Amino acid sequence: MKHLSEAENRLGFRIHAAAYIVTLLLLVAINAVTGPPYWVVWVVPGWTVGLLCHWYFVVGPGVRRA
């Protein structure tokens, strides 16, 4: 595994967060237009857990400093 600098890790997290926001807004809009069943309620928590884990190990208390 390639060891990235702290700046590169933070950039990766920012890209992940931006993709999260844009994609979920689009999915919520699509699900609102198509109506029930509201399947997006399964996508949001799943991706949120992934984003929170990414934050924890890149920016939060789980980051390893060499």
pLDDT in tens, 46-59: 999 999 999 999 98
CA distance 7 to 20: 20
CA distance 15 to 21: 10
CA distance 64 to 66: 6
Domain layout of the chain by residue ranges: 6-58
Instruction: Please check the confidence at residue 1 and state whether its pLDDT lies above 70.
Output: no
pTM for this model (two decimals): 0.85
